[in-house]
Amino acid sequence: MAPQINPSILSADFARLADEARAVEGADWLHVDVMDNHFVPNLTLGVPVVESLARATRTPLDCHLMIEAPDRWAPQYVEAGAGSVTFHAEAAAAPVRLAREIRAKGARASMALKPATPIEPYEDLLPELDMLLIMTVEPGFGGQAFLDIMLPKIRRTRELIKKHGLELWLQVDGGVSATTIERCAEAGADVFVAGSAVYGASDPAEAVRALRTQADAATARASWSCDH
pLDDT tens string 112-157: 999 999 999 999 999 999 999 999 999 887 778 999 999 999 999 9
Residue 164 pLDDT grade (very low, low, confident, very high; cuts 50, 70, 90): very high
Count CB atoms within 10 A of the CB of residue 5: 27
Residue 203 known to be catalytic: no
pLDDT digits (tens, 9 = 90+) for 24-48: 999 999 999 999 999 998 889 999 9
Binding residue per annotation — 174? Answer: yes
**142 annotated as ligand-binding:** yes
Task: Inform me whether the pLDDT recorded for 9 exceeds 90.
Answer: yes
**Is 175 known to sit in a ligand binding site?**
yes
Q: Which of 62, 130, 173, 190 is catalytic?
A: 173
Q: Is 200 marked as a binding-site residue?
A: no
The pLDDT, as a whole number, for residue 228 is 52
Tell whether 143 is in a known binding site: yes
33 an active-site residue?
Answer: yes
Is residue 226 predicted with pLDDT exceeding 80?
A: no
Catalytic residue among 33, 36, 130, 190: 33
Q: 71 to each of 90, 113, 124, 137, how far by Cα in Å?
A: 12, 16, 19, 24
CA distances from 151 to 7, 56, 84 (A): 21, 35, 24
Query: How does pLDDT run across 59-117, given as a tens digit for each residue?
Result: 999 999 999 999 999 999 999 999 999 999 999 999 999 999 999 999 999 999 999 99
Alpha helices per DSSP H over the chain: 17-22, 47-56, 70-80, 95-104, 151-163, 181-187, 196-199, 204-221, 223-226
Is 173 known as a binding-site position? yes
